[in-house]
Amino acid sequence: MTDLCINIKKLETFTKSYVSVVRLTMEDGSQGWGQMSTYCADITAQIFHRQVAKHALGHIFNEFTDLENLILEREHKYPGSYVLRAIAGLDTALWDWLGKKNGLPVTALIGGSPGMLPAYGSSMKRDITPKEEADRLKKLRDTQGFKAFKFRIGSECGRGKDEWEGRTNEIIKVLPRVLGDDVVKLVDANSCYSADQAIEIGKALEDNDITHFEEPCPYWLPDETKKVTNALKIDVTGGEQDCDFRIWKDMIDRKIVDIVQPDVMYMGGLSRALLVADLANKANITCTPHAANLSLVTMCTMHFLNAIPNAGKYLELSIEGEDYYPWQRDLFLGDPFKVTDGNVEITDKPGWGVEFNPSWLEKAEYSCSEV
C-alpha cells in the first residue's frame, strides 16, 4: 500500500445542524472525505476545529491509532462523547483518503471485499400503530426483499412505560404473524425497562419468534442488562451508546450482552470500532454495528461489517425517509443505499465509494483549519 508518512495540511468542514462533512487535504494535494457523528453536528464542528484539527494539522500521518490517541491525550480533560464524535470526522476522512491513494474500497484495506451485503430494515418509529407498522414492513418485504426487520417496543428511556398502554404487547404479536416465519424479527427497547420488566417481555418475545432484544435496560446500568441476558434464550444486544474502552472491556469480559453493537461515529471512527470488534471476536462474541440513519455512518458500517470475522448476519439499514429524517435529503449523489432483494452493495470504487452532493455542500456552513 501507499507510504503513509505524509503531512496533514488542511481540514475543512461543511456543516448543518444534523450533519457535518469533513474534507481532508494532505501536503501532496490528495484528499479524503469523512463525516462527524450526526445530531448537534454544528456543536461537534466547533469542537473539531478547536480540539481536534490543531493536533492533526502538520502531523506526519502514518498510523490511525497513534494519531487518534495523541488527540485524546492532548484533550484528556474532555474524555466524553463530543470529542470522539469530532474525531470520527478525521478518522473517516483518512480512511477515504487511504482507499483513494491505493485505488481500493475501504473494506479491502481491512480484510473485506466489494459485493452484496444482507440488511435488516430498521424502523425508528414509535408513533405508529402495530397495524400500520405491520403494513409498511410487509410492503417492504414484498417490494424490496428484506428478510429481516427491527421494530421498536417500549418508549425511549421510558422508565418502564410503554409509548401508549398496550402497544408493546400488541406489536410483538401482530408483526410476527403478518411478516411470517421466513422473516427474522428483532426489537429495540432503547433503555426502557427494569430487568424484571425486560425479562417478562423477553419471554413474550421468545414465544413470538423474535430473536434479538436490543438495549432492554438503561444502558448505563450494565448489571441490570446482565440479569436479562442470563435469564433469556434470545440474543440480548447493546453497546451503541458506548465509546469508552473501559466500558467495552467490562461489557465483553462479563458478557453483559450476547451481541455488541458499536456505532462507528459515536466510537470516534472506523479505527476504534475495529478495536471493539477485535475484543469481541477474541471473546467469541458477535458484532452487529449500530447504524441508524442514511448518512455516512451506514456506508462506513457496510465496509466494516463486511470485513470483520465475527460479523452479524445483517447490516442495520434505516427504512425512514424525509418525514422522519428530513436532513438526509440530497446528502449524496446517486442512490448508495439502494436495496436489491434485501441486500445493499459495497462497490469497488476507492475509499467509501460515495460522493457528497456539491449542492448540499454549497448550502452548508463552511469552516477551515490549515497549516
pLDDT digits (tens, 9 = 90+) for 235-261: 999 999 999 999 999 999 999 999 999
Where are the strands (E) in 140-192, listed by range? 148-152, 184-188
- Domains along the chain? 6-103+357-370 (3.30.390.10), 108-346 (3.20.20.120)
Q: How large is the C-alpha radius of gyration of the chain?
A: 20
Give residue 3's pLDDT: 53
Placement of cell 469497488 in the chain: 348
pTM over 0.85: yes
CB 206 within 8 A of CB 199: no
Is the pLDDT at 162 greater than 80, yes or no?
Answer: yes
Q: Which residues pair with 26 in a beta bridge?
A: 8
Per-residue pLDDT tens digits for 304-360? 999 999 999 999 999 999 999 999 999 999 999 999 999 999 999 999 999 999 999
Give the rounded percent of residues in the chain with a pLDDT score beyond 70: 99
Residue 302 phi, psi dihedral angles, 5° rounding: -60, -50
Class of residue 330 by CB neighbours under 10 A (exposed 0-12, middle 13-18, buried 19+): exposed
CB 339 within 8 A of CB 79: no
Instruction: Supply the pLDDT for residue 111.
Output: 97
Q: Over 90: is that where the pLDDT of 178 sits? A: yes
In the structure grid, which three cell numbers stand for residue 199, read together?
425479562
Partnered with residue 187 across adjacent β-strands are 151, 213
**Which of 270, 267, 332 has the alpha carbon at shortest distance from 98?**
270
For 20, 205, 258, the CA distances from 318, given in Å and listed in that order, are 19, 22, 22
**27, burial (CB in 10 Å: exposed 0-12, middle 13-18, buried 19+):** middle
Closest to 185 (Cα-Cα) out of 148, 234, 240: 148
CA dist list (Å): 182 to 66, 129, 138, 295: 46, 23, 12, 29
Q: Are 117 and 343 in contact (CB under 8 A)?
A: yes
Beta strand residue intervals within 85-141, DSSP E: 115-122
Distance CA 311, CA 300 (A): 14
Position 272, amino acid = R
- Which of 61-65, 106-110, 156-160, 173-177 is predicted least confidently? 61-65
pLDDT-derived band of residue 59, with 50, 70 and 90 as boundaries? confident
Q: Answer yes or no: is pLDDT of 150 > 80.
A: yes
Cα separation, 47 vs 78, whole angstroms: 11
Name the residue among 57, 76, 78 with its Cα closest to residue 67: 57
Tell me how far apart the alpha carbons of residues 295 and 297 are, in angstroms, rounded to a whole number. 5
pLDDT at 365 over 70: yes
Q: What is the mean pLDDT of the chain?
A: 97
- The fraction of the chain above a pLDDT of 90, given in percent, is 96
> Residue 6's pLDDT is what?
87
* Dist. CA 267–CA 339, nearest whole Å: 27
What gap in Å lies between CA 257 and CA 234, rounded to an integer? Answer: 11
- b/e map 47-63, b = 16+ CB within 10 Å: bbbebbbebbeeeebee
Distance, in Å, from the CA atom of 236 to the CA atom of 221, rounded to the nearest integer, reads 14
- What is the Cα–Cα distance from 270 to 6, expressed in whole angstroms? 20
Average pLDDT of 62-86? 93
> How do residues 17-50 score in pLDDT, each as one tens digit?
999 999 999 999 999 999 999 999 999 999 999 9
pLDDT exceeds 60 at position 115 = yes
Between strands 60-61 and 6-15, the pairing is antiparallel
Q: What pLDDT does residue 345 have? A: 98
